[in-house]
């Protein structure tokens, strides 16, 4: 905080009308698995900074890693870039203090202080659990991150907080089948590494013998949470972020909306959320913002800049890393769960597939997608028959209008998306 404050004061003395300094101190402890063995154990520390300097509506931004040979030269460079820049007619001001949001569950002391050897033992647990004759272990990774984020500006914003995060990946295959992976992410040390490996092994065995579709047909598709995140929610983030150019289809989505099953909101305040924080990347307090309510478009995400352009207030969605400038983005994007279960969705399908993963092209701007379904099963008369592969394609915004039902089993994605399985009716499934 002292260094952030010094950078701001120095820039003011050099003639800046506004200035913002941001520093991120990150330490990662990484355990890697290769070919069934613990391959490496290392710690990586990185301190990055970003300095945003304004002269009226002209901006200069400089970033880098600390330490630097001359902080004074960095400050002068940022101001020099501002002098040489073109004025932005939409610029009004950096954020003014609006307080912070009281959040919980973003820092776990037990996780932060766990020795690397303990994390290595967790990797051994995954290896031991998956050590079975028909299973080939490809790779694995455990990463513990401890990060301190600090920001201050000329208007009196001065905030600092520390957070923890634990990410675990495990990849294996059964026989000659394609690799299957399992992922777990958490803000604390409450991760069941044996269950992660068990689930990955079970999934690998279930798709070890794939069968092609006999023919293409029109039917129902159950998207499990992971493909829901990729196919439906990722394009949706572009449609609900202010300041991002929208495709014609996304603009139509604002007017037409989605199925009344769909309710989506962004919430940077939830307990232990993957992107929960007391402030966003500009120092504005985080909050909950309704985006789609029972199929009706109901809000936009804003940074300070887009909020000023639209004569409103920031929603706390100016996201960034210290070495990048803020942009509009999601914190914890949440698709509201349904009342049934995945089994309940399956019972509704006369003919269709349940999709565990999707591999293909997704254009987040237009919503268009096309690709192969993986870790998927054929369904007939409400019962799962056998593993299957095939092709699906369409437009995310159109599929959002065809969602008939949603389940309650929620998956937390690494990027902070909280998705649930959905049933999409009357779509083409190709051989």
CATH code for the domain in which residue 138 is found:
3.30.2290.10
Could you tell me the residue range of the domain that residue 171 belongs to? 2-206
Number of domains in the chain: 2
CA neighbor of 66 nearest in space, from 109, 3, 156:
3
Q: Are 259 and 123 within one domain?
A: no
Question: Which of these three, 147, 176, 206, is where a domain ends?
Answer: 206
pTM, to two decimals: 0.95
The band of 254, judged by pLDDT with boundaries at 50, 70 and 90, is confident
Backbone CA torsion sign across 223, 229, 235, 239: positive
Average pLDDT of 99-104? 97
Q: Region 223-243: what's the mean pLDDT?
A: 95
Residue 272 has pLDDT above 90, yes or no: yes
- Residues 17 and 156 placed together within one structural domain of the fold: yes
Tens digit of each residue's pLDDT (9 = 90 or more) over 126-163: 999 999 999 999 999 999 999 999 999 999 999 999 99
279 vs 364, residue with greater confidence: 279
Instruction: Identify whether residues 187 and 333 lie together within a single domain.
Output: no
Contact, 157 vs 19, CB < 8 A? no
CB 70 within 8 A of CB 8: no
Q: Are residues 44 and 119 in the same domain?
A: yes
Distance in Å from the first CA to the final CA of the chain:
58
Q: With bands split at pLDDT 50, 70 and 90, how would you rate the model's confidence at 399?
A: very high
pLDDT one-digit tens code per residue, 60-70 = 999 999 999 89
64 and 124 both lie in a single domain: yes
Domain boundary among 206, 240, 266: 206
Give the per-residue pLDDT at 403. 97
pLDDT value, residue 250: 79
Same domain, yes or no: 284 and 219: yes
pLDDT of 246 higher than 80: no
Measured distance CA(311)–CA(294) in Å, rounded: 27
Instruction: Report how far residue 164's alpha carbon sits from residue 403's, in angstroms, rounded to the nearest whole number.
Output: 36
At which of 206, 222, 240 does a domain end?
206
Which range (85-94, 227-236, 246-255) has the least confidence?
246-255
Nearest Cα neighbor of 102 from 243, 271, 238 is 271
Mean pLDDT of the chain: 95
Distance CA 244, CA 357 (A): 28
């Amino acid at each position: 905080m002292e260094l952030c404050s010094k950078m701001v004061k120095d820039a003011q003395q050099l003639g800046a009308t506004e200035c913002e300094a941001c520093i991120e101190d990150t330490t990662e402890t990484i355990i890697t698995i290769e070919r069934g063995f613990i391959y490496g154990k290392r710690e990586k520390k990185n301190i990055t900074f970003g300095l945003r300097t304004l002269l009226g509506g002209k901006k200069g931004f400089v970033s880098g890693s600390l330490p630097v040979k001359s902080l004074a030269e960095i400050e002068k460079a940022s101001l020099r870039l501002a002098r040489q820049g073109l004025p932005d007619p939409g610029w009004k001001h950096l954020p003014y203090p609006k307080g912070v949001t009281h959040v919980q569950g973003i820092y776990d002391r037990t996780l932060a202080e766990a020795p690397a050897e303990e994390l290595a033992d967790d990797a051994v647990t995954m290896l031991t659990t998956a050590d079975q004759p028909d299973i080939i272990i490809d790779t694995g990774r455990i990463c513990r991150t401890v990060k301190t984020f600090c920001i201050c500006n000329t208007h009196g914003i001065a905030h600092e907080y520390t957070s923890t995060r634990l990410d675990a990946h495990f990849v294996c295959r059964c026989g000659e089948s394609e690799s299957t992976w399992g992922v777990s992410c958490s803000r604390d040390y409450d991760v069941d590494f044996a269950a992660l490996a068990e689930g990955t092994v079970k999934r690998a065995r279930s798709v070890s013998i794939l069968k092609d579709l006999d023919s293409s047909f029109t039917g129902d598709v159950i998207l499990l949470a992971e493909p829901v995140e990729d196919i439906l929610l990722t394009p949706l983030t572009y449609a609900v972020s202010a300041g991002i150019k929208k495709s014609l289809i996304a603009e139509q989505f604002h007017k037409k909306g989605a199925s009344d099953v769909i309710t989506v909101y962004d919430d940077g305040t939830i307990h232990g959320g993957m992107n929960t924080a007391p402030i966003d990347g500009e120092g504005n307090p985080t909050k909950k913002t309704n985006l789609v309510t029972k199929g009706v478009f109901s809000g936009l995400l804003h940074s300070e800049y887009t909020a000023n352009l639209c004569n409103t207030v920031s929603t706390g969605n100016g996201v960034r890393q210290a070495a990048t400038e803020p942009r509009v983005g999601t914190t914890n994007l949440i698709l509201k769960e349904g009342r049934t279960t995945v089994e309940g969705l399956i019972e509704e399908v006369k003919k269709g597939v349940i999709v565990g993963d999707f591999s293909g092209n997704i254009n987040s701007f237009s919503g268009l997608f096309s690709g192969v379904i993986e870790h998927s099963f054929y369904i007939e008369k409400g019962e799962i028959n056998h593993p299957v592969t095939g092709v699906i394609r369409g437009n995310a915004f159109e599929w959002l209008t065809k969602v008939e039902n949603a389940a309650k089993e929620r998956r937390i994605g690494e990027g902070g998306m909280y998705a649930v399985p959905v049933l999409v009716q009357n779509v083409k499934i190709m051989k």
